[in-house]
Amino acid sequence: MSEVEGILRERLARDGAVLAGVAPVLRHLLRGDAGELFADEVVARVRGMLADLAEQLLLALAVHADVPDRDAFLAAQSDHLIDRMAADGGLLGHVHGLALEGRLTEQLQQRSGIDGVLTPLVQDLAASPEPEISARAMAFLASQARFVQQQRRMDLPLGELPGDYFHRALCALAAHAEAADCGGAAEPACAALRETFEEARSRLGLAARILLGLGEDIAPALQVEQAGVALFTTALALVTEQERTMVLLSFGQAASDRLAVALRTAGLDRDGLHTQLFFIKPDADVVRGLDLIDGDTASALLREESGA
């Protein structure tokens, strides 16, 4: 084992411990119990998105519980359901990741001129002579435009959740309904929400389909200036076999090495790695010599840190 590998193992373990502690810290921040650990803007977005999810869930419950005053019902129940959803580390982490994605999308547009919606890769795909590819790109374009607007409003439609997290949100609603003495309305409310849920049409579902359609031509998606944050993040998660949320969290200051190792795992050479770090984390501090680690070694380090 080289000296660089040894240093990387230590730093990845440290970064992994930091990332593992994200959910408990964020729960305290959502309650206003801590201040400086996360950016106020990110915490506000997380709180806002959880509140929006809670409102959608409670409205569905109110309909099937025949609640006469829905505004009063929401006001009385919302905080409790938000706390219940925040207790789910996976769901909370996903929402936190979306907040980080929204902020980075805005930052890249401001400092590097990278459009948050119409990126070069999406533009090329939308102009494809193949109708299926073009239609998929246009659908993603519309979905990404909605995401940018939703981030500004701190909204998160239930239909934009990945299937697993949609299920967890419904479980939180069912448990909350039982505690609030309206458990009988939970089953029909959840059934009605499931009927309208179609993951493949969500923004992340469309992103995954676009990347799978690229096949071996995925290289442009691993350039954030070409693909934009949404497709870049999804592509990096796909190629490195990480959860998308973990990739988004690796954009945080405590995990510069994790992001760099992921980029090497994805096959980026020295220039490509430093270009992406320049765009995403201009002040990144990574181990000297990391760019000399080959892709297989980087992949092994990443798997070792994640316990895979």
Instruction: Give the SS3 label for residue 94.
Output: helix
The encoded tokens of residue 292 equal 């000399």
What's 290's DSSP letter?
G
Residue type at 267? G
Give the lowest-confidence range in 31-40, 116-125, 265-274: 31-40
| Alpha-carbon span 29 to 92, nearest angstrom | 12
For residue 23, what pLDDT is reported? 64
Domain ranges of the chain: 1-307
| Alpha-carbon span 275 to 114, nearest angstrom | 14
**Ramachandran region, residue 68 (left: φ > 0; alpha: ψ -120 to 50; beta: rest):** alpha
- Determine the angle formed by the axes of helices 70-86 and 89-112, rounding to 10 degrees: 90
Residue 128, CA distances (Å) to 118, 145, 203, 241, 281 in order: 15, 20, 20, 28, 32
Span 107-151, pLDDT tens digits: 999 999 999 999 999 999 999 999 999 999 999 999 999 999 999
Span 219-237, pLDDT tens digits: 999 999 999 999 999 999 9
For residue 20, what pLDDT is reported? 58
